[in-house]
Structure 1
Amino acid sequence: MTAKKNTGSELPGLETPPVGPTGRPISVFPVPEPLSGHGPARIITLCNQKGGVGKTTTAINLAASLAEYGRRVLAIDFDPQGALSAGLGVRNHDVPTIYDLMLGTMKNPSEAIVETAYPNLHIIPANIDLSAAEVHLVNEVARENILARVLAKVSDKYDVILIDCQPSLGLLTVNALTAAHGVLIPLECEFFALRGVALLVETIDKVRDRLNPALELDGILATMYDSRTLHSREVLERVVDTFGDKVFETVIGRTVKFPDASVAGAPITTFAPEHQAAEAYRQLARELISRGAAA
C-alpha cells in the first residue's frame, strides 16, 4: 500500500494561501496615502500593436482610478480613432489636439488640455488628423523625440501621464515610447494576442537601446479574461511562465459593462462603480502605485 504524501496544507496549523488567476497568492494592495504635492509626472505608455485588446479601456479606467486616489492625471489620446477622447466624453473635433502640438502649429500644450467631468483627470484629445502625422514628421530632425518635448512643458503639473497609442509600431508609437518612463502592455487572454507580444517587447528593447535608456516594462495586464474557458486560463498561464512578476496580479475580466460605459462616454468606475470590473481597475491603480510605477 502506497503511503499518502504529506503537503503543507495537511500539516497542523498551516493553510494554503488563496491564489488568484495568475497562480500567485492574492496580495492586498493598500489604498494609497494622499499626496502632499503634485509632479513631476511619471509617463506611462499603453501600447500593443494588436487592436481590440482593451488598451483604450485600460487607459480610460486606469486614469479615472488614479484620479479617484487623488493623483493628478493627464491622458494623451495618441490614436487617430479618438476613442480615448470619446470614452471620457470629450469633444475632439474643431478643437486643439495632440496633432497640432506634434506639428508645432500650437506651441503651448496647456492650450490643448481639456478638463474632463472627473476631478483630477485632464486630457489632450486626438482625432483623424493624427493619422497624417507620420507623413508630416518623417523628415523632421529628432522626430522620435517630438512628443517628449511637448510633454516636458506640462509634466510638472501632473503625477501621472498616460499615453494611449494606436495599434501599430510606427513613428507615433516610437514617439510615445521615447517620451515614457514605463510601458504597460494590455494583453487579451487569447492565443493570437500572445503571439505579438514578443515583437512588441523587441521594439521596446530597441527604443531603450537607441533612444530612451530609462524606459522600463512596468508590466503586462491580462484583459478579457474568462475563467470559465480553458483557453483563457492556458494563455494566462503561458504569459506568467514567460514574464513572471512582470505580469500584474490584477486581471481584467470580460463584461458587457465595458461597451455600455463606452457608449455612455464614462469610465466604468463612475458608470458602474460597484461592479467588479470597476474594482479591478481600482486594484490595478493600487498595484501600480505599490510597485512604484506611479506616485
Structure 2
Amino acid sequence: MISIAVSSQKGGVGKTTVSINLAHAFARAGFRTLLVDADPQGSVGLSLTRQSRLLSGFYDYLADPGIPFERLLVPTRLDTFSLVASGQAGDYEVGGAPTGASLSRVRSFLRTVEARDFDICLIDTPAGLFGLTADVICSSDAVLVPQQAEPLGIRSVPKMLEGLNRLRVIHPGLAVLGVVLTMVQQNMEESRESVIALRNLLPEELLLRTLVPRDPLFVKASARGLPIGVMEEGTGALAVFDSLRSEIEAKLNITSKAAQVG
C-alpha cells in the first residue's frame, strides 16, 4: 500500500478538494483507495456524507486503537473507493511536535488499512506541519502539497518545503511529491504570474505540471456530496485529476490497475 499525506501550510488552499478528487481518480483507475479525513474540521466527511458528524472515525481510532476497523469504514457507490471520517474524539492533541505515542498510533492505523488490502491511502491533514499533521507525514510514504495560485501563498512555499525537509530527519524515506497549484485562474494576471513565479522558484521535480482550476463546480459537487468527476459537467475535472494521478504514479513508480489489464 502507498500512503500519501495531503498537507498545506495554511487552510483554504483547496487541500480537501484535491484529496477527494484525487482519491476518486485513483479509485476509478482500479486502485482500492481509502480517503481518510484527519482534519478535525471534518471537511472530507461533510463534503461526501452528511452523516459524517455521527460516524466513528480516525480520531476515535487514535483514542482507542482497539476499535473495530470495520466500524470506521464508509463505502461509496464506487466499490474501489472508501472513506474514514474524522470521528468523534476531537480532543486528540493536534498541536505540538511529533511524539512516540502519537506516531505509534498513526502507524498502527496505516498498518490496519494495509492489512485490508487497500492499494492507496490518501490522508487529508490539518493545515500546518506540527502535531497530528507531522505524525501523519512521518508515518506516510509520500506527501503532496496543494498551494493556491496567488502571490502571498506562493511566498510561503519555500518555508513549507523546508519544514518537510526537517521532518525527513525523522522519516528519511518520505517522498516529497511536490506542489500542485490550485484555484488557478487563467483569466487573472496575478494568478498566471503566480504560476510562473513558482516555476521559476522551485526545481522542476518539485512542481507538478497539472494545474487545478478555480471552478464553481467544486462547490456544487460538495453541496451534492460528490466528487466533481461524478457531475454531468465534470468531464474536464476528470481529466485534471487523471493527469495529477498519472504524475503521481510516475513519481512513485506504480501502475494503475486499468493499465495493467490493458
1:240 aligns with one of 174, 199, 202? 199
Residues 218 and 136 (structure 1), Cα distance of their counterparts in 2 relative to 1, 3 Å cut: closer
* Partner SS for 1:161: strand
Q: In the aligned structure 1, how far is the partner of 2:216 from the partner of 2:99?
A: 43
SS of equivalent to 1:265: coil
> CA 1:137–1:145 in structure 2 vs 1: closer, same or farther (change >3 Å)?
farther
Does structure 1 residue 160 correspond to structure 2 residue 120?
yes
8 Å CA contact 2:59, 2:88 repeated in 1: no
Counterpart CA distance in 2 for 1:255 and 1:136 is 32
Map of 1:240-279 to 2, 5 A cutoff?
240-243=199-202, 244-272=204-232, 274-279=234-239
Aligned counterpart, 1:115: 75
Whether contact under 8 Å (2:98, 2:131) holds in the other structure is: no
CA drift at 1:146:
2.1
Amino acid at match of 1:193: G
Secondary structure at the counterpart of residue 93 of structure 1: helix
Aligned in 2, Cα 1:247/1:272: closer, same or farther, shift over 3 Å? Answer: farther
Q: Point out where structure 2 has 5 or more consecutive residues left out of the alignment.
A: 256-262
Match of 2:7 in 1: 47
Structure 1 counterpart of 2:25: 65
Change (3 A) 1:79 1:136: closer
- 2:93 partner letter: E
Is this contact kept in 2: 1:144–1:171, CA < 8 A?
no
Indicate yes or no: 2:243 matched with 1:283: yes
1:1-295 matches, within 5 Å, as 41-89=1-49, 91-104=51-64, 106-127=66-87, 129-130=89-90, 132-134=91-93, 141-156=100-115, 157-209=117-169, 211-243=170-202, 244-272=204-232, 274-292=234-252, 294-295=254-255
Tell me how far apart the structure 1 counterparts of residues 230 and 26 of structure 2 sit (CA, whole Å). Answer: 13
Aligned length: 253
Q: TM-score, normalised by structure 1?
A: 0.79
1: CA distance between counterparts of 2:98 and 2:118? 31
Offset from partner CA, 1:170-208 (integer Å, 9 cap, x none): 311011101111110001001121122222212211111
Q: Distance in 2 between matches of 1:51 and 1:135?
A: 15
- On the 8 A contact 1:48/1:186 being kept in 2, the answer is yes
Give the residue type in structure 2 aligned to 1:153: T
TM-score (structure 2 length as normaliser): 0.88
Distance 1:75 1:249, change over 3 A: same
In 2, Cα distance between equivalents of 1:137 and 1:52: 22
CA contact 2:47–2:226 (8 Å) conserved in 1: yes
Partner Cα separation in structure 1 for residue 232 and residue 183 of structure 2: 17
Shift of 1:139: 11
- Residue 169 of structure 1, CA deviation: 2.5
Structure-2 change in CA distance of 1:260 and 1:208 (3 Å): same
AA partner of residue 236 (structure 1): V
Greater CA drift, 252-261 or 227-236: 227-236
SS at match of 1:185: strand
Q: For each residue in 1:213-269, what CA deviation from the matched residue of structure 2 results, as whole angstroms up to 9, or x when unmatched?
A: 100111211111111222112111121122222211111111110001010010001
Residue 69 of structure 2 aligns with an amino acid whose one-letter code is P
- Identify, as 1 or 2, the structure richer in helix: 2
Tell me how far apart the structure 1 counterparts of residues 205 and 98 of structure 2 sit (CA, whole Å): 40
- 1:288 deviates by 1.6
CA distance 1:78–1:281, shift in 2 (3 Å)? same
Q: Residue in 2 aligned with 1:7?
A: none
Runs of 4 or more, structure 1, over 6 Å off, are 135-140
- Relative distance call for 1:119 and 1:92 in structure 2 (3 A) is same
Q: Distance in 2 between the 1:272 and 1:178 partners?
A: 38
Deviation of 1:148 after TM superposition, in Å, equals 1.3
- State the distance in 2 between where 1:217 and 1:155 align: 21
Structure with bigger gyration radius: 1
- d(CA) in 2 for partners of 1:186 and 1:81? 18
